[in-house]
Amino acid sequence: VINLRKEEDFSEWYNEIVELAGITDKRYPVKGMNVWTPYGWKAMLLIDAVVRREFNRRGNSEVCFPLFIPEDQFSKEKEHVKGFDEQVYWVTHAGRNELDIRLVVRPTSETAMYPIFSLWVRSHADLPLKIYQIVNVFRYETKQTRALMRMREIHFIEGHTCHASFEDAERQISEDLQMMKAIAQALCIPYSIHRRPEWDKFPGAYYSLGIDTIMPDGRTLQIGTIHQYRTNFSVPYNIGYENEEGRREYVHQTTYGMSERLLGALISIHGDERGLIFPPEVAPIQAIIVIIAGGDDHGLAGYLSEVREVMTAAGIRFEVDDRDIRPGNKYYEWERKGVPLRLEIGQREMREREITLCRRDTGKRIAVRFEALAGTLVEMFDGIAQNLHDRASRFHGSMIHIVAGPEHLTTGVNRMWWCGEEKCGIRIEEISGASVLGTQEDSSTDGEGKCTICGRTTTLMVSVARSM
């Protein structure tokens, strides 16, 4: 058992859990680049599968663009370059030769994709163009790195769209928010949506929405971003189309980004002092069958194979632990790894034709009749997901506070009146020592108040938080 409670020392708890559960191995000799171990990678692939399903369902097509971006192509949109300049890795040599044109290792793929988009989009019939890719990106992060949350090699999901008009691009953003909802639902992760302030939007964006969840220590973690680019990239990259009147127009673009932070958030939000807890939909192992060896076998193998058959037919990802060690040790190990459901089978279960089930999230044990197993499993998985979701939502809600001003900063998200001016926003950050997340998009503000800095009357509230 882990001798740490996540509420007390979240950072240490998190680092220990990621290691003990075998998610990534941090002993790789390049800072900020970890090895995905089989269990962790399986979880990430299951999350990717949810993401793919939701993208595909909405008519987005998966592609894969090259990793390297020539320097001249990378530099076309000025704000974007400025934002990433200090964060990129440069390939300068190949074999024994120095390259004529240096290559950027993609930190994100706008500048890899957009010159090609200008070839793909010719007329209004080619719009909307909706593509996405799931690739690793590379950012020379200078802050302290943390597994799945702040790495230099990042498992990344990026959606890119082109539209005939600003309004079409806005509708795309609504669709992206629907998609975020579906993905977060599968992971049982609650979140708030903030429109980032001008000074913190994505380099090159017209505006940026941040999807923020809250860690056990009250700090926020951005698990997704959606950007409206308007024509900021399509002009320098010359992505245009002929409209129905035969006039050339620039496309309006959006992007949608998510990453391995989805897994990092899931671990942080659902885990406890015993280890991880996976929501069933993305659990690498949904159920572990633990054999309680009771001396001789007495036909236990036969009963086990009946149980296996039911599990396989129900399409459940399960494993059998028949190692010759104490059951308690097995329990600890699978709890640590976050397997949502444990099945115990021993002489007693076989005799009674029952199975003992134990839920990871509540620890509750019940016995079910063999005949009722398949149905009970489905119900239990639903129940576990619902409970994780409720528990997380309660916590999330409890961490959002309305405060009088930046000097009253407390843990979690602090909402306060704000006139909307950058000057006052920056002042809020200075006084609070925290970040302005922006104005909350998914929560309306009742009435009006006075800006906590300049005192002007306003209907806006801004969210302020310490972020990961």
> Smallest distance, Å, CB 430 to a copy of itself?
27
> Smallest distance, Å, CB 185 to a copy of itself?
24
Q: Nearer Cβ to a copy of itself, position 4 or 105? A: 105
Q: Name the site residues for a copy of itself (rule: CB under 8 A).
A: 25, 27-30, 33-38, 41-42, 44-45, 61-70, 73, 85-96, 103, 105, 112, 115-116, 119, 131, 136, 138, 140, 142, 153, 155
Residue 261 in tokens: 């932070």
| Cβ atoms within 10 Å, residue 453 | 21
Q: How far apart are CA 466 and CA 468, in angstroms?
A: 7
Q: Nearer Cβ to a copy of itself, position 45 or 400? A: 45
| Cβ atoms within 10 Å, residue 79 | 14
Q: How far apart are CA 92 and CA 81, in angstroms?
A: 18
Q: Nearer Cβ to a copy of itself, position 127 or 436? A: 127
Q: Nearer Cβ to a copy of itself, position 148 or 384? A: 148
Q: Nearer Cβ to a copy of itself, position 42 or 274? A: 42
Q: Nearer Cβ to a copy of itself, position 27 or 247? A: 27
Q: How far apart are CA 147 and CA 284, in angstroms?
A: 19
Query: Kind of pairing, strands 318-321 and 287-291?
Result: parallel
Q: Nearer Cβ to a copy of itself, position 33 or 426? A: 33
What residues are paired with 241 via a beta bridge? 249
> Smallest distance, Å, CB 27 to a copy of itself?
6
> Smallest distance, Å, CB 100 to a copy of itself?
11
> Smallest distance, Å, CB 107 to a copy of itself?
11
Q: Nearer Cβ to a copy of itself, position 158 or 354? A: 158
Q: Is 339 helix (H, G, I), strand (E, B) or coil?
A: coil
Q: Nearer Cβ to a copy of itself, position 95 or 447? A: 95
Q: Nearer Cβ to a copy of itself, position 111 or 458? A: 111
Query: Burial of 76 by CB count in 10 Å (0-12 exposed, 13-18 middle, 19+ buried)?
Result: middle
> Smallest distance, Å, CB 141 to a copy of itself?
10
> Smallest distance, Å, CB 15 to a copy of itself?
18
> Smallest distance, Å, CB 262 to a copy of itself?
16
Query: Kind of pairing, strands 129-138 and 61-62?
Result: parallel
CA triple 423-436-172, angle to 5 deg: 105
Dihedral sign of CA atoms 173, 174, 179, 185 in order: positive
Q: Nearer Cβ to a copy of itself, position 113 or 304? A: 113
> Smallest distance, Å, CB 75 to a copy of itself?
13
> DSSP states of 243-298 as a string?
-TTS-EEEPEEEEEEEETHHHHHHHHHH-BTTB----GGG-SSSEEEEE---SS-T
> Smallest distance, Å, CB 328 to a copy of itself?
21
Q: How far apart are CA 288 and CA 268, in angstroms?
A: 22
Q: Are 238 and 119 spatial neighbours (Cβ–Cβ below 8 Å)? A: no
Q: Are 453 and 419 spatial neighbours (Cβ–Cβ below 8 Å)? A: yes
Q: Are 279 and 285 spatial neighbours (Cβ–Cβ below 8 Å)? A: no
> Smallest distance, Å, CB 130 to a copy of itself?
10
Residue 51 in tokens: 């993401």
Q: How far apart are CA 252 and CA 164, in angstroms?
A: 6
What type of residue sits at position 468?
M
Q: Nearer Cβ to a copy of itself, position 60 or 435? A: 60
Q: How far apart are CA 7 and CA 102, in angstroms?
A: 47
Q: Are 189 and 213 spatial neighbours (Cβ–Cβ below 8 Å)? A: yes
What type of residue sits at position 336?
R
> Smallest distance, Å, CB 131 to a copy of itself?
7
Beta-carbon contacts of residue 81 (< 8 Å; ≥ 6 apart): 74, 75, 203
